[in-house]
Amino acid sequence: MNDYIYTIILSMMPIFELRGGIPYALANDIHPVTAYLMSVSANILAFPIVYLFMGFFHGLFSKMDWYSNLFDKIVIRTRAKVGDNIEKWGFWGLMVFVMIPLPVTGAYTGSFAAWVFGIEKRKGFLAVSMGVLIAGLIVTAIFLSGAELFGFLLKKV
């Protein structure tokens, strides 16, 4: 597979999301704008994936004990991580949570939180999308700045 496909796959994976896709693309000489657009577009797909799963499969699986126990643990963890921000700030709290490029603060957790807290789909999608757009800019800027600094330091040695 080529680097473009790997970038898209990484950006769609819950663990990596665009925090993995953008650095991978840039490290493999994909133009920064292309890397950003591909990764952000792929990562935004987390929202419909989560809503499709929660809307359809959750009803089927919730009858199984193992799923219910796992789901309850995930909901408790999600409420603990984002509950105060979403309850206090709503749309803006969700957007800020998603835009912070740290582990477990991406589009999947944000989309799941929107579903758990009953945020209207359009508002949830907009908040998650805006958060992903901003997170993509942050990750791209950090990676490019780090690459420039690293290159500068290597030239000095």
How do residues 97-126 score in pLDDT, each as one tens digit?
899 988 878 999 899 889 888 889 999 999
Give the DSSP letter of residue 90: T
pLDDT band at 151 (very low <50, low <70, confident <90, very high): low
Residue carrying structure tokens 């953008």: 22
| Mean pLDDT for the stretch of residues 50-78 | 83
| Entry pTM | 0.83
How do residues 8-39 score in pLDDT, each as one tens digit?
999 999 989 999 999 999 999 999 999 999 99
Residue 64 has pLDDT above 90, yes or no: no
Q: Are 138 and 114 in contact (CB under 8 A)?
A: no
Contacts of the segment 55-61: beta carbons below 8 A, 24+ positions apart: none
pLDDT band at 77 (very low <50, low <70, confident <90, very high): confident
Q: Are 32 and 7 in contact (CB under 8 A)?
A: no
Q: Are 116 and 81 in contact (CB under 8 A)?
A: no
pLDDT band at 70 (very low <50, low <70, confident <90, very high): confident
